[in-house]
Structure 1
């Protein structure tokens, strides 16, 4: 397995994987409103390729604001259906978090299921509000969230 930072050369293969895993309607989700017009945090976006060079999985992170505090929004995470169940998703998430930690990122958030993401240290973020119709119990964060609250908005470049 080759893991590398996503480059422009990976873009269309990663987008095709995201469409395969989440369907083209994925861009209608509220989290995509936070990504519009904002470049991803390239050093935290990773692509896993199999032995044949095929894209097996990918993870991205995007800068956001929570109130006035900066944070990273982790996601989407996608694993090709033929590679699911191998632990690749967990590997991608942990690798992206490790990269964020090395880069000095103070806090990372996502929208997901607590029973799955708890193993990475994520917990529910009371007082952090994603755009509707996001269930507040699925708004999760890891690291330094003390005193951070408010609406999640785009971090414009």
Structure 2
């Protein structure tokens, strides 16, 4: 069914909001949702190809309905991905504001900040994606520069 994986991703993001740590990045689910969006886009392109840019929805109602369902499914999946990323970004920003050095703690259980997935080796893996590590590093630098201007005021 269209959107099932996206729904699971949103449920995972919802659970993440109430945790004190950041669970492992759901690489496979994100890839599955992205793959579904690409497949739906290919289907839409294939359906519109015979019309050569002159598609009339009133004349081809069945095709128009299929295109609408595919388009809405693509939009929903994209919103699910954005919600997942937004939740993780908010959690990362919260942890950085609270003084956690996530890049140093990546891959460690120390402090309960980063949680590993089941069966993972804590010394070699991280719950952050490479893009998240880069984001945390840059956000931390930006926050340190901002807080540096206000050394006598606690901004937290």
TM category (shorter chain) comes to: under 0.3
Q: Which has the higher contact order (CA 8 A, sep 6+)?
A: 2
Under a length normalisation based on structure 2, what TM-score does the superposition of the two structures give?
Answer: 0.27
Q: Which has the higher strand share?
A: 1
